[in-house]
């Protein structure tokens, strides 16, 4: 006999999207549910739980919060949660807590699967809800820049104890005794509440014992004065880079008022959970030969692969990728300089800076990036000097190629003497491009506008970068816009995906095009608003603040970029895992139906932003 | 509660006296470790013995003689119920009726009464609502008790719906008790009775 769970069926029939279902299917659903009750305040789903069904609130209310505790949604009678885990087949990223006594109807995963499979409307309904929550969660994540990775840990959170301190006038003997008592390898020297110096085990060895200094001398005579400090809200990753670049193992942490709050040591950093990226950066920074740097470089892909698996956001992964890339690039430039000195060619003949361009400059590296770099010279070098820079550029480029960064096909590299210029020469060139935007000038403006300091004299980089921000003429903007509009994202999805028709990438979708479209849109809007921001996300935010783009569009483009970058990273991580060279060609067949739908939405967002840009073009550029 | 298995049961009958009245339908649904398992929900209509008419009770449960003419006799449904009850605590709202009728039926069929542990949501509700003098204000009827716990209203006098209503009510009562006791609720907190 057919069992009729009339009350449950009627409840479903009253709420979207079940109202769309034929009566027979609706009547079959209650049997595939269980009923649970959640007391007010109890956690129904925890971050990292694998959802065991679609949760429908029968009565009561549930709050959905992301990993950082930010509210993502509030779910009331007839509404659902837990779909993210079912749609993505991965543990949930939310904590769902009953905020009232709540009666829950839980639909089993296989029933949800069949339902969404048989009824695209139902699938769309839940994908939309999921997407809306995800967008809010991503927004939350970006506000709380700390993110969820170990890299984002604030050094203030690593400080576990009050600092051990002494005064500059105390004797070395007393300071050493205090260190021994506390069992620490480092003591902070404090005068009038301010940090004035630091003394480490190594100082006691080198400056006291080895120097045969009497232990009754004041601490002031052996301390390192004015040590490098970090504020409590600096990131663990920054602490590590600071330590590696200066070859120190202790960094004092100070609070807002400048008072010492504690100490961070290399051990603290290595101990961090999921410390791999940090450890790798340290390993790269510690290499003393180019061959060893080349040997460490493949570790970057391994670390990125882990972050992808841990479902870190694309924005965060790109930042880590760029930071690790920087660690390699900096080390390579420094070691090549040493090599030139060792060969008798001497140090740099004039001050200079090494700049990175393109995705590396925007903090948006992934698994694939060409080398794009240039040199800013502090003064015109003589012929010998020019040869020194040519040698530097050639060797750095060769080593970076060995590390896995292909040469730039457009030859935008410091090896090209055209891109080793003094500040006035750069300024003149940029002004030239702006005045007379020939096709190659438009291309180059786009490349050189994304410029970030890597090594050498930072001041030189800043001067050129600011010149590139301030020299964009309306004509140049018109040309840049036209270029951006030519990067049309595919129209539809499924069959409508515009696929590569020929060659080795047949039947694939080049995800780089729509991503570039967002990058270009953001660059134009940043130029129009005069913002020196580099990352696409920051540029969009800056343009929204300046009013050259409306805030909703900026948010939507940021979300679209996150989604497309996310899919690209997952695609590339899978390729790297199976030993293939990561590329940008997604196979629509590898995407789930939902991912295709999300992708279609992202394309739509890009397209409508492009349309809005085209309506603002200066005359003659339509 | 995290270990407990119960079977929420509701009977529709021709009257209240198991010696003279008859079961017309049974609905049950298990509550296992805090979850109501709808997949194992059952409802059975019962054909009363020859010569017995539903009479005026039909106005309550809307089961007419015609509707029951094709149903199985109680002797066929009873083994299914006893099977579902095995290892489980019987749960009902005002459980005396269910206990009496099930007892009478097994006595007739097998000449024995099954040993049952019984939890009555009415008794639990009484415990939750009684003031210091043991007095209860307001109704303890199933729909009223559900309302008091903020549960949705159900149509009454349909065996499976009432069984489900009692099962959900128990979950709400357990949550309430848990809050008061500050610990997990155990079977003894639910004032179980033994019968048979």
CATH number at residue A203: 3.10.580.10
Whether omega for the bond prior to residue A397 falls within 30 degrees of 0, making it cis, is no
Question: Residue A312: what pLDDT?
Answer: 76
Contact list in B for residue A106 (CB cut-off 8 A) is 35
Q: What percent of chain B has pLDDT over 70?
A: 95
User: Taking CB atoms and an 8 Å limit, are B38 and A35 in contact across chains?
Assistant: yes
Report the pLDDT averaged over residues B101-124. 92
Domain holding A201, by residue range, is 152-261
Question: What's the rounded Cα separation, in Å, for the pair A282 and B74?
Answer: 78
The most confident of A47-56, A338-347, B107-116, by mean pLDDT: A338-347
DSSP labels, A151-162: GG-BHHHH--SP
Residue A323, pLDDT above cutoff 80:
yes
Domain holding B79, by residue range, is 5-195
Residue B132, pLDDT above cutoff 90:
no
CATH number at residue A282: 3.30.460.10
User: Taking CB atoms and an 8 Å limit, are B35 and A34 in contact across chains?
Assistant: yes
More confident: A120 or B62: A120
User: Taking CB atoms and an 8 Å limit, are B168 and A6 in contact across chains?
Assistant: no
Per-residue tokens: B159: 């065996």
CATH number at residue B146: 3.30.420.10
CATH number at residue A604: 1.20.120.330
Question: Residue A577: what pLDDT?
Answer: 80
Report the pLDDT averaged over residues A208-222. 91
Are A254 and A313 in the same domain? no
Question: Residue A620: what pLDDT?
Answer: 58
State how far residue B66 is from chain A, nearest Cα, in angstroms.
16
Report the pLDDT averaged over residues B117-130. 92
Are A516 and A457 in the same domain? no
Residue A117, pLDDT above cutoff 90:
no
Report the pLDDT averaged over residues A86-101. 84
Question: What's the rounded Cα separation, in Å, for the pair B156 and A345?
Answer: 96
Are A344 and A419 in the same domain? yes
pLDDT in tens, B71-101: 889 999 999 999 999 999 999 999 999 999 9
More confident: B70 or A451: A451
Written in H, E and C, the secondary structure of chain B is CCCCEEEEEEEEECCCCCCCCCEEEEEEEEEECCEEEHHHCEEEEEECCCCCCCHHHHHHHCCCHHHHCCCEEHHHHHHHHHHHHCCCEEEECCCHHHHHHHHHHHHHHHCCCCCEEEEEHHHHHHHHHCCCCCCCCCCCCHHHHHHHCCCCCCCCCCHHHHHHHHHHHHHHHHHHHHHHHCCCCCHHHHCCEEEC
State how far residue A58 is from chain B, nearest Cα, in angstroms.
8
Residue A138, pLDDT above cutoff 70:
no
pLDDT in tens, A550-581: 888 899 999 999 999 999 999 998 888 888 88
Question: Residue A143: what pLDDT?
Answer: 40
Are A240 and A117 in the same domain? no
Residue B53, pLDDT above cutoff 80:
no
Residue of A nearest to B33 (CA): A36
Question: Residue A622: what pLDDT?
Answer: 47
Per-residue tokens: A619: 């005359």
Q: Domain end: A116, A143, A170, which one?
A: A143
Question: Residue A151: what pLDDT?
Answer: 53
Helix, strand, coil content of chain A in percent (nearest 5): 55, 15, 30
pLDDT in tens, A400-440: 999 989 998 888 899 999 999 999 999 998 888 888 777 77
Residue B68, pLDDT above cutoff 90:
no
DSSP labels, A69-108: --EEEEE-TT-EE-HHHHHHTS--S-EEEESS-EEEEEE-
Average pLDDT, chain A: 84
Average pLDDT, chain B: 89
Residue A190, pLDDT above cutoff 50:
yes
Specify the DSSP class assigned to residue A130: H
ipTM of the predicted structure?
A: 0.90
Q: Measured between alpha carbons, how far is residue B13 from residues A109, A463, B26, B28 in Å? A: 38, 92, 9, 15
CATH number at residue A35: 2.60.120.10
Chain B residues whose C-beta is within 8 A of a chain A C-beta are: 34-39, 41-45, 149-152, 154-155, 158, 160-161, 164-165, 167-168, 171-172, 174-176, 178-179
Instruction: Give the mutation candidate from A37, A106, A110 for the B interface (greatest B CB count, under 10 A).
Output: A37
pLDDT in tens, B133-171: 777 777 889 999 999 998 988 887 789 999 999 999 999
pLDDT in tens, A599-622: 888 888 888 888 888 776 665 554
State how far residue A38 is from chain B, nearest Cα, in angstroms.
7
Q: What is the pTM of this model?
A: 0.47
Residue A141, pLDDT above cutoff 50:
no
Question: Residue A281: what pLDDT?
Answer: 73
pLDDT in tens, A142-163: 343 333 455 556 787 777 778 8
Structural domains of chain B, count:
1
Residue B122, pLDDT above cutoff 70:
yes
Are A162 and A194 in the same domain? yes
């Amino acid at each position: 006999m057919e069992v009729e769970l009339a009350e449950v069926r009627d409840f479903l029939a009253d709420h979207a999207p079940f109202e769309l279902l034929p009566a027979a299917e609706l009547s079959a659903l209650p049997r595939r549910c269980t009923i649970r009750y959640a007391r007010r305040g109890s956690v129904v789903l925890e971050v990292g739980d694998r959802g065991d069904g679609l949760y429908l609130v029968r009565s009561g209310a549930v709050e959905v919060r992301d990993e950082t505790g930010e509210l993502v949604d509030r779910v009331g009678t007839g509404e659902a949660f837990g779909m993210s885990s079912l749609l993505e087949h991965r543990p949930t990223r939310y904590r769902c807590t009953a905020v009232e006594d709540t009666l829950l109807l839980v639909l089993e995963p296989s029933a949800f699967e069949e339902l969404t499979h048989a009824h695209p409307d139902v699938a769309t309904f839940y994908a939309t809800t999921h997407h809306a929550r995800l967008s809010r969660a991503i927004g939350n994540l970006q506000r709380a820049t700390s993110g969820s990775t170990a890299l984002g840990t604030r050094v203030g959170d690593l400080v576990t104890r009050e600092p051990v301190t002494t005064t500059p006038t105390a004797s070395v003997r007393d300071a050493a005794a205090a260190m021994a008592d506390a069992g620490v390898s480092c003591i902070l020297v404090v005068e009038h509440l301010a940090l004035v110096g630091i003394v480490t085990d190594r100082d006691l060895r080198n400056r006291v014992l080895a120097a045969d200094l009497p232990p009754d001398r004041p601490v002031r005579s052996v301390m390192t004065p004015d040590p490098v400090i970090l504020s409590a809200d600096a990131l663990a990753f920054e602490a590590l880079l600071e330590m590696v670049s200066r070859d120190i193992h202790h960094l004092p942490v100070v609070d807002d008022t400048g008072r010492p709050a504690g100490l961070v040591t290399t051990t603290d950093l290595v101990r961090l959970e999921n410390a791999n990226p940090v450890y790798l950066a340290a390993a790269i920074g510690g290499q003393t030969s180019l061959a060893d740097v080349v040997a460490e470089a493949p570790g970057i892909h391994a670390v990125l692969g882990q972050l992808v698996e841990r479902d870190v956001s694309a924005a965060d992964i790109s930042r880590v990728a760029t930071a690790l890339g920087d660690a390699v690039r900096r080390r390579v430039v420094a070691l090549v300089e040493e090599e030139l000195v060792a060969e008798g060619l001497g140090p740099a003949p004039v001050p200079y800076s090494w700049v990175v361009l393109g995705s590396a400059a925007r903090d948006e590296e992934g698994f694939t990036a060409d080398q794009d770099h240039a040199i800013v010279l502090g003064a015109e070098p003589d012929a010998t000097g020019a040869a020194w820079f040519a040698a530097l550029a050639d060797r750095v480029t060769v080593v970076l190629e060995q590390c896995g960064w292909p040469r730039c096909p457009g030859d935008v590299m410091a090896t090209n003497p055209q891109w080793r210029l003094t500040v006035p020469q750069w300024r003149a060139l940029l002004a030239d491009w702006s005045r007379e935007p020939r096709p190659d000038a438009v291309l180059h403006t786009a490349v050189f506008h994304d410029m970030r300091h890597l090594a050498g004299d930072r001041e030189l980089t800043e001067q050129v970068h600011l010149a590139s921000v301030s020299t964009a003429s309306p004509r140049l903007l018109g040309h840049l816009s036209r270029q951006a509009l030519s990067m049309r994202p595919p129209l539809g999805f499924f069959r409508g995906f515009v696929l590569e028709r020929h060659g080795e990438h047949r039947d694939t979708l080049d995800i780089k095009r729509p991503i570039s479209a967002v990058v270009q849109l953001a660059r134009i809007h940043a130029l129009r608003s005069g913002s020196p921001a580099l990352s696409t996300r920051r540029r969009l935010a800056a343009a929204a603040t300046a009013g050259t783009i409306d805030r909703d569009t900026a948010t939507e483009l940021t979300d679209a970029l996150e989604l497309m970058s996310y899919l690209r990273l997952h695609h590339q991580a899978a390729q790297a895992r199976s030993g293939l060279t990561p590329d940008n060609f997604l196979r629509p067949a590898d995407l789930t139906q939902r991912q295709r739908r999300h992708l279609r939405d992202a394309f739509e967002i890009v397209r409508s932003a492009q349309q809005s840009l085209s309506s603002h073009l200066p005359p003659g550029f339509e | 509660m995290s270990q407990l298995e119960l079977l929420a049961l509701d009977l529709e009958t021709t009257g209240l006296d198991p010696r003279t009245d008859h079961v017309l339908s049974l609905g049950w649904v298990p509550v296992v470790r805090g979850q109501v398992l709808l997949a194992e929900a059952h409802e059975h209509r019962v054909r009363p013995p020859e010569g017995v008419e539903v009479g005026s009770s039909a106005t309550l449960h809307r089961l007419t003689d015609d509707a029951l003419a094709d149903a199985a006799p109680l002797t066929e449904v009873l083994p299914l119920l006893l099977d579902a009850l095995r290892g489980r605590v019987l749960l009902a709202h005002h459980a005396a009726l269910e206990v009496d009728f099930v007892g009478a039926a097994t006595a007739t069929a097998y000449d024995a009464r099954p040993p049952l542990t019984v939890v009555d949501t009415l008794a639990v509700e009484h415990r939750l609502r009684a003031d210091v003098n043991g007095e209860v204000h307001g109704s303890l009827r199933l729909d009223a008790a559900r309302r008091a716990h903020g549960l949705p209203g159900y149509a009454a006098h349909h065996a499976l719906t009432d069984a489900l209503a009692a099962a959900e009510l128990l979950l709400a009562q357990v949550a309430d008790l848990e809050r008061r006791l500050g610990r997990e609720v155990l079977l003894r907190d639910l004032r179980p009775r033994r019968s048979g």
